[in-house]
Structure 1
Amino acid sequence: MARYFDVHPHDPQPRSVAQVVAMLRDDAVIAYPTDSCYALGCRVGNREGAERIRRTRHLPDGHHFTLVCADFAQLGELVDFDNAAFRAVKAATPGPYTFVLPATKEVPRRLAHPRKRTVGVRIPDHPVARALVRELGEPLLSTTLLLPGHELPPTDGWAVKEELDHVVDAVVDAGDCGTEPTTVVDLSSGAAEVVRVGAGDPARFG
């Protein structure tokens, strides 16, 4: 049965954040809110957690997870930028965008695209998500909480708890956080390519 944390959406309680992060460090899989929709997450080094997320969402082995960061300094350790990409990412973060960029050596090989050596990264504009990642001290391996057979992700923590009570270890509820996943922008080849239109306005990359 998943532990349930009722967390303030704008001023998350440090004790609750610390308890969730302690579970993450103990290889938990969590459901947590972002600025686009609820997501599933675990530590980057948690291989079994990644497999559990794949099984929950019926994802193929080649599915690319997103690395969710607390701030630009953390993001900068994971990906390489040229000046144009740096400006584009800086202007759109924090926000509901995922950026595909060349991975640095800090990114485990299994998490990068096998041919392109790229990885998806983001900084969510959600106090709870960023508090969790900041307290953890490393990125969260993450993917949208969209379950097989569902057209939309669940919008509140209680719905997530009911649906995934025996699948995840913790549910972090900070209220409704929408149903649109991030807008995905590939900046790995120099020019911006919008791969998926979601919660973030794609016009700035047109």
Structure 2
Amino acid sequence: MNRRILMMFVLACLSLSAVWAGDVDDVKKQINKIKKSSQYIYAESTAPTEADARAYAEERLYDEVNKWVATQKKMKGSANLVVNNRKELWTQLSMPRGSNMFRYFVYVKKSDILPTENAVVIANENLPAVEEKLQPALPEAIRVVAGFTDYFKMAEMVKQLKAEGKIADYARYASLDNPDACYLVIYNKDAQVVAVLTPGPERLNVKTNKPDGIANYRGCGAIGIQME
């Protein structure tokens, strides 16, 4: 059963902390303490960029929340969940050969996960208007892929396009060497394709021509397609 997880941005109940670790050892101690406690659900990820590390970790956290909720009699029938007080720790790790990696650790207390059958999401009408950007001409292969809504049919077409030499390569998001160089095909847990995004750090949704990003699709998977 798919559940909608709502983040409550209410000052009275939200305590979101992003901690830059000047002392990596202190962060490791905090993380180990949380892992040993049965009161928390957590997820972590390490990636070359802060944005990717956060996206991976948050996707995994919501997967873990859904798994835990499925074991709770009072919650597993609820279509909506509210997660209060999500917290995160992050640090920059020095790796061999001079490269740096970002580590994100995200966690939530089980008691802060609440079922809510009558939750209402209110759009913020005061957000500034987003300037529409001109989208470059799409490669024919991407136009074909973007026409699919079923994940399995889309995946078969991607394999065919690779065999025909119409795309250079493809892989799951977590396996991509350079995600910014790839088009991203986003799919949900119902095996439905929900978006196709252009390459680059500032992506566009190919169907809406609006700014979009993988962080907007928590709980979804992605396949990266490289054209060159």
Normalised-by-shorter TM-score class: under 0.3
Structure number with higher relative contact order (C-alpha < 8 Å, ≥ 6 residues apart):
1
Q: Which has the larger radius of gyration?
A: 2
Task: Report the TM-score when normalising by structure 1.
Answer: 0.26
Structure with the higher fraction of residues in strand conformation? 2
Instruction: With the length of structure 2 as denominator, give the TM-score of the two structures.
Output: 0.25
